[in-house]
Structure 1
Amino acid sequence: MTTSDIGKPPAARTPAGQARERILATAFRLFYSQGLRAAGIDTIIAESGVAKATFYKYFPAKDDLILAYLDKVDGVWTGQLHAAAEAAGPTPADQLVGLFDALASACRRDGYRGCAFINAAAESPTGTRVHDRTVAHKKQISAWIRDLAVQAGAPAPDQLSRSLTLILDGGLASGVLDADPEAAIVARNTASQLVSASLGRNP
C-alpha cells in the first residue's frame, strides 16, 4: 500500500535480477505518487537507470509492469493487515477490529495517497487485466475477513465481512480525501461497534 518497504538494498541477486528490481522499485514509487497513467515509461526507465532494451525484456508492455507493481503492493498491504490482526490478540473477534490498526499506520505515513488498488481501479477500464487484478485483491481481503467472521461465530459472516470491507475502504479513501489520519480511528471504532453488535457483545 505504501512505499515504506521500497528502496531498501535488495538481497544478493544477479545483475539481471537487480535491474528488474530497480525498475519495479522505481515504478512502485512513481505509480503510487503520480498515478498509473501519469508515470510514463521513459521516466521510469531514466530514473531506474536501465537500458530501454532491458526494460522491455522484463516488461514488454506497461500493463505488465503495472501488474507487477500491484502484486508487490498486495504483498505489502496484505502483510500489514495480517500483522495488525495478529497483534490484536488470538481471538478472531479481536483480530477483526485489530486489522484496522494497519489503516491507522498507513494513513500517517508521509506521501500517503490512499489505497493503491482503489486508485488503480479508477484508472483502468472494467475487463482489463489491471482492473481484474484490483478486483481479485479486494475479493481476497474480503474472503479473509469473512473467514475471521466465521471463526468469531458471526451469525451473518457475509454481511459482517461486506460491512467491514466497506469501512476499511472508506477509511483508506477518507484518509487522503480529508487529509485527516484520524479517519482511521473513526473507522476502527465503527468496526469495533459493528463486530460487537454482530456477535451480541458489549463493545
Structure 2
Amino acid sequence: MSTTPAPAANTRPSPARQRLLDAATDLFYREGIHSVGVDRIIEESGVTRATMYKQFEGKEGLVLAYLQGEDARLRELFAQAGSVSDDPEVLLDLVIAGIEQDVRERHTRGCPFINAAAEYPAAGPVRELISDHREWFRATLEHLARAAGLTDPADVAASLVLLRDAALVGGYLDGQDRVGPAFARTARGVIASHRT
C-alpha cells in the first residue's frame, strides 16, 4: 500500500516558505487551484518570485505542498484521538466527532482533495498524492474497525469514507449545521450495524 508521508513534526519551514504555503492554502481552498496564479500567491505572501521558485520549483510543487498539509491535518486528527484513548471503539467515535467538527468549522467549501481532483483529472503527481491520501484514510479506518471487532471492516471503512465525502460536499451546499449532525448520526449507525 502506498502512503503519503506526513511532514516531519520537528521540521520548521523557513518563514518565506510558510508564508507562501499559508497564502496558497487559503487561496487554493477558497478560490480553486487553477484560478489562482503564481503572481497572486507571491503578492499575498509578500515574497519574491525567486524565493517562490527556490522553495517550490513552480506552482505544482506548491499545490503538492498544500495537499500534503491537508493530509497532515487529517493524520493529526487521528493522532489526537489516539492521545485520548487506545480503545478502538472510543477512537472511532472520536474520529467521527473530529470529522463532524471539521465539516462545521474548517472545511466549509468542500473537501480539498475532491476539489483538487476535479481540477487535475489526468494522472500525475497531484492525483497520485490524492490517491495515496485516500488509501491511507480508508486503510486507517479499516484497521480501527477491525480492532473494534466490527464485522466486515472494509465495508465499514468504505462507508465512512463515502459519508465523509458526502458531508464535506453537502456541508458546502446545504450548510454545516444541517449536514454535520447527519454525518455523525449516520456514521455511528454504520458502526452500530456492524457490531457483533
Would you call these one fold, judging by a TM-score over 0.5? Answer: yes
Query: After alignment, is 177-186 or 62-71 more displaced?
Result: 177-186
Relative contact order higher in (CA < 8 Å, ≥ 6 apart): 2
Q: Do residues 68 (structure 1) and 84 (structure 2) align?
A: no
What is the CA distance between 1:136 and its match in structure 2? 0.8
Provide the rounded CA distance (Å) in 1 between the counterparts of 2:38 and 2:90: 44
After the TM superposition, which residues 29-40 of structure 1 pair with which residues of structure 2 at under 5 Å, given as runs? 29-40=26-37
Provide the rounded CA distance (Å) in 2 between the counterparts of 1:153 and 1:134: 29
Q: 1:51 to 1:129 in 2, by over 3 A?
A: same
Q: Deviations over 1:65-97 (max 9, x none)?
A: 00011111111122124435765x542123223
Provide the rounded CA distance (Å) in 1 between the counterparts of 2:26 and 2:36: 10
Q: Which runs of 5+ in 1 are unaligned?
A: 1-10
Q: Do residues 142 (structure 1) and 134 (structure 2) align?
A: no
- Show the counterpart of 2:6: none
With the length of structure 2 as denominator, give the TM-score of the two structures: 0.86
The one-letter amino acid paired with 1:66 is V
Q: Do residues 28 (structure 1) and 22 (structure 2) align?
A: no
The one-letter amino acid paired with 2:97 is D
Provide the rounded CA distance (Å) in 2 between the counterparts of 1:124 and 1:110: 23
- Which residue of the other structure, out of 101, 106, 115, is the alignment partner of 1:105? 101
**Partner of 2:172: helix, strand, or coil?**
helix
With the length of structure 1 as denominator, give the TM-score of the two structures: 0.83
Provide the rounded CA distance (Å) in 1 between the counterparts of 2:189 and 2:110: 24
The RMSD of aligned alpha carbons is 2.1
Work out the number of aligned pairs and report it.
186
- Show the counterpart of 1:195: 191
Q: Which runs of 5+ in 2 are unaligned?
A: 1-9
What is the CA distance between 1:164 and its match in structure 2? 1.3
Provide the rounded CA distance (Å) in 2 between the counterparts of 1:126 and 1:100: 31
Provide the rounded CA distance (Å) in 1 between the counterparts of 2:33 and 2:117: 10
Provide the rounded CA distance (Å) in 1 between the counterparts of 2:132 and 2:194: 26
Contact preservation (8 Å) 2:100, 2:183: no
